[in-house]
A and B are shown apart, each in its own frame.
Chain A
């Protein structure tokens, strides 16, 4: 059974047209992450939520925003996608405490900007 679900799997958007990627989880994990992964590179953390607390990475462009309306859902909004934003976007969750635990990843959304 899928535990971290990302929709859609493939998204094509026009240059400058806002786009939203979604992630849902059935694990009731308190931490949710968004990563950007470009071809042949490592996943790059954009931001993450620890419970309701939002943590933005210093080098995440302002063009990227996120919402977490409840424990189960998290959204990545790209306000004005550029060609350089074409990438795989990965959502992950974990149940974090003092020592941390493994993260569970969705299958990703591959974003194409035309």
Chain B
């Protein structure tokens, strides 16, 4: 299976703290993406980092990519209760078909 692994599986923090989630994948990628999913809803794209990039920022989000280790991390700074959701990394393996494979996910709970 090409599915990536995320850790931790679940994370509980207090409002204002930072949250870090890690993703590891198995083969070469075009890009890696992070998505957020509120309970019972569709996924929302957060940020995309290409294979030739090492770090990217978007608001309170910071993503790093280490292609030598086949890993990525998502940092959410100054978390809010509204950040409570599941977070998934997704790898685009490119090639002829550009399929997008999701990792196992991290369930983040931010306590007010």
Are these two chains actual partners, yes or no? Answer: yes
A residues in contact (CB < 8 Å) with B: 4, 31, 33, 35, 40-45, 48, 50, 53, 55, 88, 90, 92, 94, 96, 98-108, 110
Residue contact A48 to B50, C-beta cutoff 8 Å: no
Contact flag A94-B99 (CB < 8 Å), given A99-B30, A105-B43, A107-B42: no
Min CB–CB distance B99 → chain A (angstroms): 6
Min CB–CB distance A107 → chain B (angstroms): 5
Q: Which residues of A contact B88 (CB under 8 A)?
A: 42-43
Residue contact B33 to A102, C-beta cutoff 8 Å: yes
Cα A45 to Cα B33 with chains together (Å):
15
Give the contact stretch, choosing among B14-22, B61-69, B71-79, B102-110.
B102-110
Residue contact B94 to A102, C-beta cutoff 8 Å: no
